[in-house]
Structures are given as C-alpha cells and as structure tokens.
Amino acid sequence: MLTTEEAAEYLGTTARHVRRLVTDHELSRYKVGGRNRFADVDLDAWLDARRVEGGLSAPASSGLTRTVPARRRQRR
C-alpha cells in the first residue's frame, strides 16, 4: 500500500494531482487509519484506462490524405 506521495511518484505526478483524482472519484483508494492508501494494481489500472495507442487514425493504404489549408493573409 502506497501513501499519497508514493502514489504520486509512481504515477509521475504531484501529490496534489493525486488528491484531486481522489476528490473527483477517478482513482481508487483505501482508507487505512484515516489516511488514503493506494494499491499499485489500482494505479496500473488507472494508467491503463488512459492509454492512447500511437499511429495513424486511418491506414496509409486507404487513400486518404491530409490536406493542409492555405495560409490566410493577416490584416494589419
């Protein structure tokens, strides 16, 4: 079981951010002796839920191309 500060280090964030996640009910925790404690499996689950896969949104072979808009002339 990790303290708030240890959980923050585990997640690579601040203790304040961890406390905000708890307040917003986004992060599971245990109350032990009136203090928040975090299980590493719960922290891993929270991280996994926020994983974003890399890569293109459309396969290159689909024939879709990205168009870049022309620069607009700025008024002065």
Q: Is residue 67 one of the residues assigned to a domain?
A: no
Spatial distance between the Cα atoms of 72 and 60, rounded to a whole number of angstroms: 29
The confidence score (pLDDT) of residue 35 equals 95
Q: Is residue 32 one of the residues assigned to a domain?
A: yes
Mean pLDDT of the chain: 84
pTM over 0.75: no
Q: What total of structural domains would you count in the chain?
A: 1
The CA distances from residue 60 to 54, 55, 57, 64, 68, in Å, are 14, 10, 9, 7, 17
Q: Would the pLDDT of 52 be above 80?
A: yes
Question: For residue range 13-50, what is the model confidence (pLDDT) as tens digits?
Answer: 999 999 999 999 999 999 999 999 999 999 999 999 99
- Residue 11's domain comprises 4-51
Q: Is residue 22 one of the residues assigned to a domain?
A: yes
Q: Would the pLDDT of 56 be above 90?
A: no
